[in-house]
Structure 1
């Protein structure tokens, strides 16, 4: 970024607390416990049925809340967004989702300030930190002032597979985003973080994060797995496509997604390791996410706990 600091990336939190053109890997992935899934070839995961074209229980009331058919969190800030399955739906369900990397992805139950509930997706980047879309943690312009602002709570269910919760759930104790989203509502800055009160990520493992060059991204396949609202409640679905195009702050791709997958990692495979390069947030003729550039990566490193 030639020494220019983009103030829109100024980090903010829901409680008081103390870019270059080269590839920069800021955080290495960690697979957690056993059961790591072997990576595939040609840049995408080895998922049966997918080809790339040319632990613990919890209260019944909480389980019931997770298993309702709730709307996508994006509805709160944007209304109805375009849905983003392009052509034939060839997404593949991940079941079970208890092996790595699938358990590093989490189903989110999000409760807004006014008690309205929504679904989203997040991914571990450290023992206590998940990255997600900014609109999963801070709602803007919902039309209901009592709903706007930091969400009331987020409950995280890693590796969820419908009614199976192999790692139980954990509650957020802190939320993060940047002023570009919370103050300006700029889609280029739609990213945030969830801080847990436990080290659940040490069990599930986490994805790495990297600031890759334009050339590297355009030569890469993007992988995405998350919890879409058009599939059975709480099921994880995977898809992959080549990166379509990039800008300084966005990555565009034809990966199939649906509402509920806001916050999913767009990640690439590098020598058998998984590195997130964008945070999925929007649908359209091509889907897009906030690019992990130098400043986003710096915030992720600072938020990691």
Structure 2
């Protein structure tokens, strides 16, 4: 792989994987439903079949509930507190709470409790792509430009809690100290390269299952429905919420969408249905005034994720 902004880096250099070459990689890596509790019923459309879910164009505003006290969302460590703009719900809030989090696909999504180098506590979201690999945003595993002495750099540890639902941890919690990202983020702090991974010391993903990943051309993504689930900080503490909507625009590094998210969902999967399975094509990382956005899985990103999954 050329030495560019996608060059992989690790907080454990002796364990750094070598990125797969494009010609050796398939277009997609397949998902798995795991060996845990039964999967939720199959979807009959491009959105998840969730009780109470309403298509965005038909949704009415949902009542806002004061969240329980939780650690601040990890994005604040690198970017500071967001402006008073609702981050980032556009128009009526059509997110729906997931309560049966112990079944596939919901158990693939993980609440992340992050301990930074200065021992400050933060929260984020991640998702399994293999037995021991959880994908997340780069700013979840490596903090940039915080302005706080001793805080920047690789985080100290992350506790991964698949399918967390408030105080309920259906698959327990596993703590990792092994992280991956790329020089475009760790060196430059460039949002176009804001992706990373957590390597677990166990194969918990074999129980929870995982999402596939893939690379799709612009034309396919612009026709896709994006799905995002995670742990927004404007909802009751450590509860999982889901929303879906079409992709608004794409460029060579990012995907943009009007899917409602909030702080705490940094690292969530942006996924769609393909050949009956769920495949990530982006990693949610940023809110915006008109659209939210994530790091697009292009070939270089895909190569790194495949290597980190190995």
TM (norm. structure 1) is 0.91
Given that 1:26 and 1:301 are in contact with CA atoms closer than 8 Å, whether structure 2 keeps it comes out as no
Structure 1 counterpart of 2:28, from 26, 29, 42: 26
Residue 220 of structure 1 corresponds to 224
Equivalent residues in 2 for 1:69-80, closer than 5 Å: 69-80=70-81
Once the two structures are TM-superposed, the CA of residue 272 in structure 1 deviates from its matched residue by: 2.1
2:275 to 247, 250, 271: 271
Partners of 2:115 and 2:155 within 8 A in 1: yes
Please list the CA deviations of residues 151-170 of structure 1 after superposition, one character each: whole Å capped at 9, or x if unmatched.
Answer: 01100000111011000000
Report if the CA contact (8 A) 2:71-2:121 is conserved: yes
Specify the SS of the correspondent of 1:275: strand
Aligned pair 1:133/2:137, yes or no? yes
Q: TM-score, normalised by structure 2?
A: 0.89
Superposition map of 1:123-272 within 5 A: 123-272=127-276
Distance 1:15 1:6, change over 3 A: closer
8 Å CA contact retained: 1:81, 1:283: no
How far 1:144 sits from its partner (Å)? Answer: 1.2
Contact persistence 1:109–1:155 (CA under 8 A): yes
- Label 1:6 to 1:48 Cα distance change in 2 as closer, same or farther (>3 A): farther
Alignment of 1:52-91 (within 5 A): 52-54=55-57, 68-81=69-82, 83-91=87-95
Q: Distance in 2 between matches of 1:286 and 1:125?
A: 26
In structure 2, the residue matched to 1:60 is: none
Question: Whole-Å Cα distance in 2 between the matches of residues 10 and 235 of structure 1?
Answer: 35
Secondary structure of the structure 1 residue equivalent to 2:176: strand
Q: How far apart are 1:68 and its partner, in Å? A: 4.8
Shift of 1:219: 0.5
Q: Quick check: 1:51 aligned with 2:54?
A: yes
User: In the alignment, does 2:297 pair up with 1:297?
Assistant: no
SS at match of 1:268: strand
Instruction: Give the C-alpha shift of residue 78 in structure 1.
Output: 0.2
Moved more, 164-173 or 33-42: 33-42
Give the match's secondary structure for 1:9. Answer: coil
- What SS does the aligned partner of 2:272 have? strand
Summarize deviations over 1:3-46 as a string: whole Å, max 9, x none: x94700000000122599xxx63310000024112333331110
- Structure 1's consecutive aligned runs of 4 or more residues displaced over 3 angstroms after TM superposition are none
Give the CA deviation at 1:69: 1.3
Structure 2: which 5+ residue stretches go unaligned? 58-67
Is 1:15 aligned to 2:12, yes or no? yes
1:110 maps to what in 2?
114
Equivalent pair of 1:124/1:206 in contact (CA under 8 Å)? yes
Once residues 273 and 26 of structure 1 are traced to their aligned partners in structure 2, the CA distance between those partners, rounded to angstroms, is 11
Aligned residues: CA RMSD: 1.8
